[in-house]
Amino acid sequence: MREGRKRLRLWCKRQAGTLAVALGVSVVILAVVVGVQAAMLYARGWRIAWGTVPEGAAAFGSVAAFGALWVAAQEWRSGQRERRAVDQERRDLAAAREAERRDHVMSQARLIIVEPVALAPQPFGSEARPIDRYMIIRNHSSEPVFNLHIDHRSPKDRDTYFDQFVPQRTAASTTGPRLIP
């Protein structure tokens, strides 16, 4: 389809002079035909019926109504364009604010340090008691810490109590930054 349009444009550019002469000749021929017909109708007594003043006012009103409709359509289209531009600007601003907010949250999360403390000694012979784990959370950020979840596994995977009795939390269920030491 596009190739056909390109070929037609190229042909029109090449034949521009010929097309101008042909259209000019056809306009002259049509003007002569209209003039001959007008003379024939005038000779037979046919005249243009201009009508009365109310009919002229009605004709002007009809043309003015279509003009007003066209102006209203143009205004509506320009209003639509402006609304689309404003909506796009709002979406862009909201996206920029969201990106800035996420960046701020991530920069705050980077300033929270979680450090494990050495294990508390476990009394000999009590296998049922879990191993106590201590963590120190250092908040170097300017915001408070909420919804903190820390996953900790012993290096040798010996923490059977943690694996059996503490419910597992997935990444989708955490609401704050997930920090793993």
In Å, what is the CA distance from 19 to each residue of 11, 13, 23, 29? 10, 10, 6, 15
- Predicted confidence band of residue 105 (pLDDT cuts 50, 70, 90): confident
Give 52: exposed, middle or buried? Use CB within 10 Å, 0-12, 13-18, 19+.
exposed
Rounded to 5 degrees, φ, ψ at 58 are -65, -40
pTM: 0.39
Nearest-angstrom CA–CA distance, 59 and 50: 11
107-117: average pLDDT: 78
